[in-house]
A and B are shown apart, each in its own frame.
Chain A
Amino acid sequence: MLFKKRTYATIQLPKSKEPYVQTEADPITRGEVIPEGDFHKCPNCGEIFYAEILRTTEGVCQKCGQHLRLGARERIAQITDAFDEFHHQMEETNPLDFPGYEKKLASNRERSQEAEAVVTGLATIGEQPCVLAVMDAGFMMGSMGSVVGEKITLAVERAKEEALPLIIFCASGGARMQEGIYSLMQMAKISLAVEAFSKVGGLYVSVLTDPTTGGVTASFAMQGDLIVAEPGTLIGFAGRRVIEQTIRQTLPEGFQRAEFLLEKGFLDQIIPRNEMKETLTRVLKLHGGKR
């Protein structure tokens, strides 16, 4: 078990509309110095949470239900029983010699402690084996360059070779601008792999998490046999600002959210985070697993 969930001291959760109750276990009352980053603010309702509390709620705001963005490791810990990562050491080159790209990569690596914007590996979810790829919006907004494209392609090919189901958690702002046309071609490369995998009867579940946009939406995010999303996820091809500039009007509330896409017929289901693991287990079982 690589990513066993840690157990934490019991902390009383702040109930909505009730004042925050400080307990003895709370470091604030014990006068400890809290390093920066130990608090999270809900981007939707503005509620401020102690990070550890947020962890016990799987990163869901207890006040408004907003599903906050998760790092890939956190996500993997939440949904898998076991995870065996591959291709961890692959690195970007700078194919266009884009000024400042290496520096940007280095600072993102340091901040996120990840090598790139996707983590792939063999996973067990509810005793069901599968190939899992999880994108991380915390690394250059989950943008897709050569490494992301290559890792996902290899994951799809691995699933095909080993006749395993494939699950991809999408989270991406789209193309990696600094890699230009190389980024665009990743869409084609992955699509060819997905199609070949599909032809041999492989199951591909695409899980859309906030945000799923641009070239990822226009390729593998929308190529799943099943396409599901977390509540409130932003899903779209073009960015909101670009559309507003094109049509010169303000877009309606809730436009490009998961609920909107479900209504328009582009999603199979919206699945809250606390039901994700169970739902994926059911799906995997229904597609050739044991009941």
Chain B
Amino acid sequence: MREEIKRVESELKRLEALQADGIDVSEAINKRKQEVKAMKAEFPMDAWDRVTKARDAKRPVASQYIEGLVDDFMEFHGDRRFGDDPALIGGVGWIGDTAFTILGQEKGVGTKERVKRNFGMLNPEGYRKAQRLMKQAEKFNRPILCLVDTPGAFCGLGAEERGQGQAIAESLTLMAGLQVPVITIVIGEGGSGGALAMAVADEVWMMENSIYSILSPEGFATILWKDASRAQEASEVMKITANDLESFGMVDRVVREPDEFCVETLPAVIESMREIILKTVSDYQKLPVESLLKKRYEKFRAMGRVSEKEGTE
């Protein structure tokens, strides 16, 4: 159906060119326009369109969100154990009149920086830096904002040697017990445990065209069908779009994006988010710590689908 829409759209362009040349085809143009509109209404973007958008090189990255959203951002480096992971930006700054701890998985802009940032794939040091800064946020009673944008945790030899699994596992339990409010926004790719390690939050939001999944569609197709080229098909069955996750009750808010979402159109989106972030955090800050933790527990406790067969205990 996407091909069909594209075909009619290109036809429409040709007709408009004719119209511009002074040949009257307005009737045909109107007809095509209505066709496209009807088709788009009936068949909204499919999952693969979203995957493509989520990975688009022009899509805003964490550092750009931070630049637009946070005043007087001060970056802090290092995990105090092994090194500093450039794939994770961490620090403090102001959103409105509230001091936040901000943690962002950073893909980088431009080839050189993308390589330096390891394409947003964190090593264990990244997760341990995040843990350090989360504990610090708790100590100074600052709310935490996490921006998730990673294809997944890095799968390298060193990452395994230094305990990638252990690092993620520790982030999960740490976030489970954090006594300050945490909001996580999936801004691009939310890949697997590497994303979840920053998403055990009081609220999880997704940008409209971001994805959040157990694995990349390519990896999924490889594991289940031994064929990475079936990624597009995988993306459909995996149910990874913001709408899917919202319908599963795993995502609390979907933030609308403009048609062309890039650094130029980012400021308007950020302005639409700022007040909601502040309002949400202030609501959670009003809760006693016990209620905050209980609420977070119950939020994730409800996730999963099982049925009890008859005759259970």
Could you tell me which A residues sit within 8 Å of B by CB distance? Answer: 86-93, 95-96, 98-99, 146-147, 149-150, 153, 175, 177-189, 191-196, 198-199, 214-215, 217-223, 235-238, 242-243, 246-247, 249, 251, 255-256, 264, 266
Contact = CB atoms under 8 A, between A and B. Distances in A.
Given A188-B176, A191-B172, 4 more contacts: A215-B214, A218-B168, A219-B172, A249-B157
Contacts of B153: 218, 237-238
B157 A247 contact: yes
Interface size class of B (residues with CB under 8 A): 35 or more
A191 B176 contact: yes
Nearest to B163: A266
Interface of B: 153-157, 159-166, 168-170, 172-173, 176-177, 192-193, 196-197, 199-200, 212-215, 219-220, 223-224, 237-240, 244-245, 248, 250, 296-297, 300-301, 303-313
A97 B154 CA distance: 30
B157 A182 contact: no
Nearest to A183: B214
A192 B193 contact: no
5 contacts: A146-B305, A175-B214, A181-B240, A182-B303, A192-B176
Nearest to B200: A188
A181 B176 contact: no
A242 B219 CA distance: 9
B214 A188 contact: no
Nearest to B124: A237
Contacts, number: 188
A153 B303 CA distance: 11
Contacts of B196: 184-185, 187-188
Contact of B193 (A95, A187, A251, A266): A187
A238 B223 contact: no
A159 to B, nearest CB: 16
A96 B237 contact: yes
Contacts of B313: 86-89
B160 A181 contact: no
A185 B199 CA distance: 10
Which of A87, A153, A218 has the largest number of chain B CB atoms within 10 A? Answer: A218
A237 B304 CA distance: 22
Contact of B200 (A191, A199, A255): A191
Contact of B307 (A91, A149, A255): A91
Contact of A91 (B163, B215, B301, B309): B309
A177 B163 contact: no
Nearest to A176: B214
A150 B304 contact: yes
A145 B157 CA distance: 28
Contacts of A189: 300-301, 303-304
Nearest to A196: B297
Nearest to A242: B155
